[in-house]
């Protein structure tokens, strides 16, 4: 009997390379990541307000032109998957898969359609709050009728490790940016990408470890 009945995914960091788009739209890599970080600071763990407004507000905060913010929003259907994403998802086709993402319904649906194959796309808008507030994770579990202890969540950001853990899910952390681990939680497994995920799912007891240098 498999350990997990379903796998949930962070969309905009774990599965899709949004960082390249933030950089390209800003016209400068450092400014693009500063803009991205500002947007995250404005939303993280807060009650929902329109994600599109947050992107615009963050642009003003860091000195990105208003037309660049509108261009960023237009590009939500064009994010490229990370090189390992499609290969790994193809190995998990038999699993129930869903997404919990920090954006609006319209943008989350558009971005998730890049990959397809998800039973549910739970957005911050639908849940009424931004991760790592527990509401988005719980809303997804409730909508799918899944107990948290039978679900593996794939985090892309450090805050997702704590957020998903606090509602009772095990967490696989694809730490693509080599971020500092959170102080309030520990991932079941931490790797630099998704390539360790199929083995974890196939193994009844999982493969414990948190060495980010392993691939």
Per-residue pLDDT of the chain (215 residues), as tens digits, is 458 999 999 999 999 999 999 999 999 999 999 999 999 999 999 999 999 999 999 999 999 999 999 999 999 999 999 999 999 999 999 999 999 999 999 999 999 999 999 999 999 999 999 999 999 999 999 999 999 999 999 999 999 999 999 999 999 999 999 999 998 899 999 999 999 999 999 874 444 333 333 33
Give yes or no for a contact between 207 and 13, defined as CB atoms under 8 angstroms apart: no
- Outline which parts of the chain fall under CATH 3.40.50.1000: 6-17+79-202
Rounded CA separation 177/185 (Å): 18
CB 109 within 8 A of CB 122: no
What pLDDT is stored for residue 208 in this prediction?
Answer: 37
* Cβ pair 199, 207 in contact under 8 A: yes
Integer Cα distance of 153 and 137 in angstroms: 9
C-alpha torsion 58→178→119→206, nearest 10:
-160
The beta strand positions in the chain, using DSSP E, are: 6-9, 16-17, 80-81, 96-101, 120-123, 151-155, 170-174, 189-191
For residue range 4-58, what is the model confidence (pLDDT) as tens digits?
999 999 999 999 999 999 999 999 999 999 999 999 999 999 999 999 999 999 9
The CATH superfamily label for domain 6-17+79-202 reads: HAD superfamily/HAD-like (3.40.50.1000)
- Residue from 104, 125, 106, 131 nearest 8 by CA: 131
Q: Does residue 132 have a cis bond before it (omega within 30 degrees)?
A: yes
**Residue 157 CB burial class (10 angstroms; 0-12, 13-18, ≥19):** buried
């Amino acid at each position: 009997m498999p350990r997990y009945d379903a796998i949930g995914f962070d969309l905009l960091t774990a599965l899709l390379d949004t960082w390249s788009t933030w950089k390209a739209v800003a016209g400068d890599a450092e400014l693009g990541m500063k803009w991205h970080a500002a947007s995250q600071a404005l939303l993280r763990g807060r009650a929902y307000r329109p994600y599109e407004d947050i992107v615009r507000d963050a642009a003003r905060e860091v000195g990105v032109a208003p037309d660049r913010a509108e261009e960023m929003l237009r590009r939500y259907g064009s994010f490229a998957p990370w090189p390992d994403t499609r290969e790994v998802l193809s190995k998990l086709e038999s699993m129930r898969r869903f997404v919990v993402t920090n954006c609006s319904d319209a943008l989350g649906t558009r971005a998730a359609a890049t990959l397809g194959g998800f039973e549910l796309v739970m957005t911050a808008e639908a849940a009424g709050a931004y991760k790592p507030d527990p509401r988005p994770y719980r809303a997804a579990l409730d909508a799918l009728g899944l107990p948290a202890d039978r679900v593996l969540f794939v985090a892309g950001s450090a805050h997702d490790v704590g957020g998903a853990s606090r509602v009772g899910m095990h967490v696989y952390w694809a730490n693509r940016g080599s971020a500092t681990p959170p102080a309030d939680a520990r991932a079941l497994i931490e790797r630099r990408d998704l390539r360790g995920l199929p083995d974890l799912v196939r193994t009844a007891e999982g493969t414990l470890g948190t060495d980010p240098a392993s691939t």
